[in-house]
Structure 1
Amino acid sequence: MGFRGLMSDTQREALRQQALAEIDLLDTPPEREFDALAKLAQRMLGTGMSSITLVAPERQWFKARCGPLAAETQRAQAFCPIVFETEAPLIVADTTLDPRFATSLFVTRAPHIRYYAGVPVRVRRPDGERVTVGTLCVLDEQPRAPTPADLDILTELACVAEALIEARTLAVRAAEVADEHRMAVERLERERRQFKRAERMADMGSYRYDIEKRSLSWSDGVFAIHELPVGGAEPDGDVMEAFPEPDRTAFRAAVMRTLDTGEPFELEADLVTAKGNIRRVRCSCEIELAKGKPAALIGLIQNITERHGLETRLRHQARTDDLTQLANRAEFHRVLDARLHEARAADGDVGVLLIDLDGFKGVNDALGHAAGDAVLRRVAERLRKAGYERYFPARLGGDEFAVVVPQNLARTDLDRMVRRLLHDLEIVVDGQGHIARVTGTVGIAWSSEASHDRDAVLRHADAALYAAKRTRKGTAQTYRVKPDSRQVA
């Protein structure tokens, strides 16, 4: 009995009702096996009535019944609840002589019960405890002298009833498990189809690398990204070979870090497909654990070629002057800031050239803006000529251009470059009977003389530019700091 002897009546009642709910038998349709058992009890004991009874909080309900018994009755004044509550057999030879039942409606009215014999029907709960949920009983309209065999027969038949309940409960649970399994399989199939659709829509796929078996498996999406037949075998050899350098080295290093630290990663890389096409992909990777140990590497690969191309074009547009296709002012500032940061860290020096076109307004006034635009494009072409590859040119706006000089370029080398640049900036425009000449004036400044500050070095270059214009247009001057003052020399 375990600790049940220490339980209160209320706690024992709650335990019995919980067990009754667990077998899920109350208010179920008639079943032939239970009906046959009730009839067998009636015949073996020769009574007019019999039942397999389940006792709920306010009523008793007959899973099977023989004779003039209702489908259910109230619990009060009934016989079976006594067996249910005491969990012990009960025989009443003549109910009219028993003060507990003499005034019961079941005795004074139909079905006019005069004889009753019942035994508990128990079930075994998952914790092994056997708990009463109902009774197996026989009843009659006539009193009778009980025999010891009556309870023996009922007890044996109650064992059959308990076996039936247990078998039914197991069958119901098995059916529920089977139904849950079927539903789970259907759900997984739906999710698989949805995942495949999602893969196709997102142009992505998943992979799993079994660390112990050293085997790789791909979803359909990965085959599609690699331009391989879907559902075929994964390629032999090192799949990393699909990534060209330097992305291959970066991918290997990321995988090793994940294996060493357990930290997942994401990266973007170029991938060469089986058909030789280059695609941009986003890769993710993390460790799958089994029993606390790394079992596999799992992750996703997404084809982002179109998006990457769009982002690249947008970045280019945001950083490029539309007319000349040189870097614009914002990109010039970004590059100059980066070069100044490098120079400051390395105790180096960066030169900056500011260029202003002389005579450009005359071209616009005499020949029109189309001719002026052509001049600006010709200037850009000359800034991209061979020999200027190490320099970073930009159009700041209007007829103003700028050039970032490579770090630590010798000033004598820069002097030669500026002389060539001044020559290249001489442009003659002939059209509509007018001839115009455009030249360039250049102001030069060095970052070391401006504490590697962008605004300061640009002010210095601007000051040198206007000093050159005052001296003679089409020339260049360098901003230098004299011991007694700051001025252009």
Structure 2
Amino acid sequence: MSDSQREALRQKALAEIALLDTPPEREFDALAKLAQRMLGTSMSSVTLIDPERQWFKARCGPLAPWTARGPALCAVVFESEAPMTVADASLDPRFADNPFVVGEPHIRFYAGVPVRLRQMNGDHVTIGTLCVLDDKPREPTAADLEALSELACLAEALVEARAVALRAAEAAELRRLAVERLERERRQLKQAERMAAMGSYRHDIERHSTEWSDGVFAIHELPISAGVPNGEILNFFPEPDRTAFLDGVMRTLDSGEPFDLEADFITARGNRRRVRCSCEIELSKGKPAALIGVIQDISERHALESRLRHRACTDGLTELANRAEFHRVLDQRLREARAAHEELAVLLIDLDGFKAVNDALGHAAGDDVLRRVADRLRRPTYDRCFTARLGGDEFAVIVPAAVGRAGLAPMVDHLLRDLDIVVTEAGQIARVTGSVGIAWSKGGIEGGDTLLRHADAALYEAKRRQKGTARTYLENSAVRQKG
């Protein structure tokens, strides 16, 4: 290690103990006095050496609080890291012209030993000296250096104790800051949980016990003081979501893969909610120790999404399904019918006389007619059917296989009567009826478009023959009378 590197190491060690420029301390003062008394000198000091000066942590005799480092005899001990004695500095070529020899305090005798600090890795680094000085020459003895070295051990013990105390104080401060940070993060987490309507949980696999954050108690509408109802947690999930949640947990335990699901939820106060749950495994020493996860109240988002989905598939005027939703449901029902080797029917409805109502009584009266038609299509007679408004004055009905051909005829008779509507407005009277085209899915029809074309052909024939009646599409013969 070079001299500059060694000097940097010494200065770093000195800085770390923060001893420079500190107030006098009784222990160091007593040590300097003891050295002075034991060796019978007029001066003594516990000296620390920084890059520019020697500073006395403790001193006895006519010594200034600090001096420049350059001419200081202690600097020689500091840099050589070895004890040094000088019988008469005025006769020593190294120090004869030294300002502290020719001037105050007129040093003649000097004896100094290094004061070292033990590092965390076990190495020792010199940070200063313990020395005695006198203005009269004297011949040093081995006993002088031995006593001084033993006193230096005490000085090192004091410095070491101070360093340990300093490190302990720093560690305590770090712990305090860590505790404050954890408490701050805990408060921030609680705020985040409240804002996001969520909470976290941890289920100890071995102990079969669960811990909840405050947010989970809030979602369950349970007081924190009541504790986690370990044996009843799944009861907050109604079926089939309870089974789905339990199946997800078991898959996670078996495969180690996390899961995420949305489920219905009933709080301790009986309020229905929608929640999102996540779950994953916490490992300890490579083995599953706990299930950890998050539960979030997404009721508002779910309700909004449900409203948006409803709007996307619902006719705004009549609140029946719209054209897009009708086509989606028709394709689904056709797939199900084919799989079950069953047939269903589609009814296309066109209102007769509707344009005259709009022209004579206004669009408000026309809208009222459309709403009345929708209300009648919601009657119990059509409970098993799927009804929709395709647009304008066109409506459609999907009749399930359960109704059958025998049950369809009386239903259509009932429908034609329901579609016979009398409108009165401002002393004027108008009448609206409905024509119906019927098509069955028998014959291997693969798509809803084909079935709707058949129903439309039957509707056209009904209107051509006699408005306010129904016709059924027949392959080859095109259409026939209703039923």
The alignment status of 1:133 with 2:119, answered yes or no, reads no
The alignment status of 1:51 with 2:52, answered yes or no, reads no
The Cα of 1:221 is off from its aligned counterpart by 3.1
In structure 2, what is the Cα distance between the partners aligned to 1:68 and 1:480? 129
* Residue 220 (structure 1) aligns with: 214
Secondary structure of 2:203's partner? strand
* Residue 384 (structure 1) aligns with: 378
The alignment status of 1:286 with 2:280, answered yes or no, reads yes
- List aligned pairs for 1:31-42, cutoff 5 A: 31-42=25-36
- List aligned pairs for 1:40-119, cutoff 5 A: 40-119=34-113
* Residue 266 (structure 1) aligns with: 260
The Cα of 1:409 is off from its aligned counterpart by 8.2
Letter of the 1:216 counterpart: T
> Which consecutive residues of structure 2, in runs of 5 or more, have no partner in the other structure?
none
Letter of the 2:218 counterpart: A
- Equivalent pairs counted in the alignment come to 480
Contact 2:435–2:467, Cα closer than 8 Å, also in 1: yes
In structure 1, what is the Cα distance between the partners aligned to 2:117 and 2:475? 103
Contact 1:351–1:447, Cα closer than 8 Å, also in 2: yes
Letter of the 2:157 counterpart: A
Letter of the 1:303 counterpart: D
- From 183, 186, 192, the counterpart of 1:189: 183
Q: C-alpha deviations, 1:412-457, integer Å up to 9, x for none?
A: 7666655553443233334554443322233456779898556666
In structure 2, what is the Cα distance between the partners aligned to 1:430 and 1:36? 117
In structure 2, what is the Cα distance between the partners aligned to 1:243 and 1:365? 55
* Residue 211 (structure 1) aligns with: 205
The Cα of 1:79 is off from its aligned counterpart by 1.9
The alignment status of 1:248 with 2:242, answered yes or no, reads yes
Contact 2:434–2:467, Cα closer than 8 Å, also in 1: yes
**Structure 1 residues 27 and 285 mapped into 2: Cα distance closer, same or farther (>3 Å)?**
farther
**Structure 1 residues 93 and 244 mapped into 2: Cα distance closer, same or farther (>3 Å)?**
same
**Structure 1 residues 148 and 390 mapped into 2: Cα distance closer, same or farther (>3 Å)?**
same
In structure 1, what is the Cα distance between the partners aligned to 2:283 and 2:142? 65
Letter of the 2:56 counterpart: F
* Residue 396 (structure 1) aligns with: 390
**Structure 1 residues 352 and 136 mapped into 2: Cα distance closer, same or farther (>3 Å)?**
farther
Secondary structure of 1:27's partner? coil
In structure 2, what is the Cα distance between the partners aligned to 1:386 and 1:64? 104
**Structure 1 residues 95 and 255 mapped into 2: Cα distance closer, same or farther (>3 Å)?**
same
**Structure 1 residues 462 and 27 mapped into 2: Cα distance closer, same or farther (>3 Å)?**
farther
Q: C-alpha deviations, 1:260-283, integer Å up to 9, x for none?
A: 233333322222222323222222
Secondary structure of 1:207's partner? strand
Secondary structure of 1:275's partner? coil
Secondary structure of 2:55's partner? strand
The Cα of 1:217 is off from its aligned counterpart by 2.3
Deviates more, 1:260-269 or 1:461-470: 461-470
In structure 1, what is the Cα distance between the partners aligned to 2:96 and 2:479? 128
In structure 2, what is the Cα distance between the partners aligned to 1:63 and 1:21? 14
The Cα of 1:163 is off from its aligned counterpart by 0.7
Letter of the 1:288 counterpart: E
> TM-score w.r.t. structure 1 length?
0.85
> TM-score w.r.t. structure 2 length?
0.86
Q: C-alpha deviations, 1:149-180, integer Å up to 9, x for none?
A: 11111100111011111111111222222233
Q: C-alpha deviations, 1:379-399, integer Å up to 9, x for none?
A: 112322234333321122221
* Residue 463 (structure 2) aligns with: 469
* Residue 4 (structure 1) aligns with: none
* Residue 317 (structure 1) aligns with: 311
Letter of the 1:53 counterpart: T
Letter of the 2:88 counterpart: D
The Cα of 1:468 is off from its aligned counterpart by 4.2
* Residue 235 (structure 1) aligns with: 229
In structure 1, what is the Cα distance between the partners aligned to 2:342 and 2:73? 105
Q: C-alpha deviations, 1:37-91, integer Å up to 9, x for none?
A: 1222122222222222222334333222223333333332322222222221111
Secondary structure of 1:285's partner? strand
Letter of the 1:281 counterpart: V
Letter of the 1:386 counterpart: P
The alignment status of 1:358 with 2:352, answered yes or no, reads yes
* Residue 157 (structure 1) aligns with: 151
Deviates more, 1:151-160 or 1:224-233: 224-233
Contact 1:339–1:407, Cα closer than 8 Å, also in 2: no
Q: C-alpha deviations, 1:395-414, integer Å up to 9, x for none?
A: 22221222345489866766
The alignment status of 1:437 with 2:438, answered yes or no, reads no
Contact 1:348–1:408, Cα closer than 8 Å, also in 2: no
Letter of the 2:150 counterpart: E
In structure 1, what is the Cα distance between the partners aligned to 2:334 and 2:115? 91
- From 269, 289, 298, the counterpart of 1:295: 289
In structure 2, what is the Cα distance between the partners aligned to 1:205 and 1:192? 12
Letter of the 1:180 counterpart: L
**Structure 1 residues 453 and 118 mapped into 2: Cα distance closer, same or farther (>3 Å)?**
farther
**Structure 1 residues 142 and 452 mapped into 2: Cα distance closer, same or farther (>3 Å)?**
farther
In structure 1, what is the Cα distance between the partners aligned to 2:262 and 2:378? 31
The Cα of 1:132 is off from its aligned counterpart by 1.8
Secondary structure of 1:251's partner? helix
Contact 1:41–1:138, Cα closer than 8 Å, also in 2: yes
In structure 2, what is the Cα distance between the partners aligned to 1:343 and 1:77? 108
- From 309, 319, 323, the counterpart of 1:329: 323
Secondary structure of 1:169's partner? helix
In structure 2, what is the Cα distance between the partners aligned to 1:454 and 1:107? 115
Q: C-alpha deviations, 1:352-390, integer Å up to 9, x for none?
A: 443221111122333443432332122112322234333
In structure 2, what is the Cα distance between the partners aligned to 1:449 and 1:98? 126
In structure 2, what is the Cα distance between the partners aligned to 1:341 and 1:59? 96
> Which consecutive residues of structure 1, in runs of 5 or more, have no partner in the other structure?
1-6
Deviates more, 1:353-362 or 1:62-71: 62-71
Secondary structure of 1:238's partner? helix
Letter of the 2:435 counterpart: T
In structure 2, what is the Cα distance between the partners aligned to 1:188 and 1:437? 76
The alignment status of 1:122 with 2:109, answered yes or no, reads no
Aligned-residue identity in percent: 70
